[in-house]
């Protein structure tokens, strides 16, 4: 029995509604992937009929989504900033709230700057590539301790035709041992407590634990970066970090104790504290 796009979307949305708030969007993304079309195309041609192979593949993907697998893993990509990024189980799935880190970084980088900027724990390369695309005269260093993640990030640079990024293998500041005049360091490090119940819920169950967990308070990696970044920054250089919604006070305290100035913290679109910034004294 053949089914139309409209029927397929309705059926899939109903199957996913109990498990996911984003059921309708998930169904659209999965079907667009199967048909190699845009979501807008689906609504332009609602009476288009799926062939048997397309129907079977779509049903398989919907079933996997119903069992919890992230849509980004099922279709192999995720939109971030103005980029389309390949994602795998070796990297975090780029999230909308991380675009705030890109936004606040860009506010500090002059349009024609020739800054050296490092993105620590780059994962899929989302932050580094977004900054590199917006500031073509800057040179980005994207580092990660995972060679598998760096492979994904390099592929994303190629796919998006971004060339002003250098990729380095190393754990946090170890990748910048030969650097002492970095203009900006950015990072979205792990910041979830190791026993946080959210680790057993939703998409994070399918993402690398090492990219999520950071000790008993979720602050281990944030503290390490804050302390070790200062010698690598040039005077007047900036450090910007994504952190957990309940870590604003702790991160500000760590920045103050390390000697940063002009410290600010910014809320995300849900009005939750999300990005901290500090400047190395002149």
The yes-or-no verdict on residue 271 having pLDDT over 90 is: yes
What is the sign of the dihedral through the CA atoms of 181, 185, 189 and 191? positive
161 plus 249 within the same structural domain? yes
Q: State the pLDDT confidence band at 199, using cuts at 50, 70 and 90.
A: very low
Residue 75 counted as domain residue: no
Q: CATH number for the domain including 45?
A: 1.10.8.10
101 plus 56 within the same structural domain? no
Euclidean distance between CA atoms 31 and 279, whole angstroms: 46
Residue 53 counted as domain residue: yes
What does the pLDDT look like over 128-151, one tens digit per residue? 999 999 999 999 999 999 999 999
Q: State the pLDDT confidence band at 104, using cuts at 50, 70 and 90.
A: very high
Mean pLDDT of 153-169: 97
Counted domains in the chain: 2
Residue 81 counted as domain residue: no
173 plus 273 within the same structural domain? yes
The yes-or-no verdict on residue 273 having pLDDT over 50 is: yes
Q: State the pLDDT confidence band at 67, using cuts at 50, 70 and 90.
A: confident
Instruction: Tell me the angle at which helices 248-258 and 220-229 cross, rounded to the nearest 10 degrees.
Output: 30
What does the pLDDT look like over 221-233, one tens digit per residue? 999 999 999 999 9
Q: Residue 106 sits in which domain range?
A: 89-279
The mean pLDDT value of the chain amounts to: 90
Predicted pLDDT of residue 231: 93
130 plus 245 within the same structural domain? yes
């Amino acid at each position: 029995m053949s089914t139309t796009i409209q029927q397929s979307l309705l059926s899939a949305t109903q199957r996913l509604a109990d498990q996911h708030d984003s059921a309708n969007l998930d169904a659209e993304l999965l079907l667009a992937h199967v048909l190699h079309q845009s979501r807008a195309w689906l609504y332009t041609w609602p009476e288009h009929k799926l062939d048997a192979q397309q129907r079977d593949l779509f049903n398989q993907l919907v079933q996997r989504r119903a069992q919890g697998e992230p849509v980004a893993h099922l279709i192999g990509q995720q939109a971030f900033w103005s980029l389309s990024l390949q994602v795998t189980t070796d990297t975090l799935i780029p999230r909308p709230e991380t675009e705030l880190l890109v936004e606040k970084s860009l506010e500090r980088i002059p349009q024609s700057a020739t800054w050296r900027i490092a993105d620590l724990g780059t994962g899929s390369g989302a932050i580094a590539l977004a900054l590199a695309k917006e500031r073509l005269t800057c040179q980005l260093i994207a580092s990660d301790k995972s060679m598998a993640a760096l492979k994904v990030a390099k592929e994303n640079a190629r796919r998006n035709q971004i060339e002003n990024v250098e990729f380095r293998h190393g754990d946090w500041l170890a990748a910048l041992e030969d650097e002492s005049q970095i203009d900006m360091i950015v990072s979205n490090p792990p910041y979830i407590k190791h026993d946080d119940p959210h680790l057993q819920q939703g998409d994070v169950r399918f993402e690398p634990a090492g990219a999520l967990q950071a000790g008993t308070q979720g602050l281990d990696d944030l503290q390490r970066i804050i302390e070790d970044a200062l010698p690598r920054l040039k005077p007047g250089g900036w450090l910007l970090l994504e952190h957990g919604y309940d870590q604003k006070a702790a991160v500000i305290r760590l920045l103050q104790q390390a000697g940063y100035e002009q410290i600010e913290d910014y809320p995300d679109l849900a009005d939750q504290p999300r990005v901290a910034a500090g400047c190395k004294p002149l």
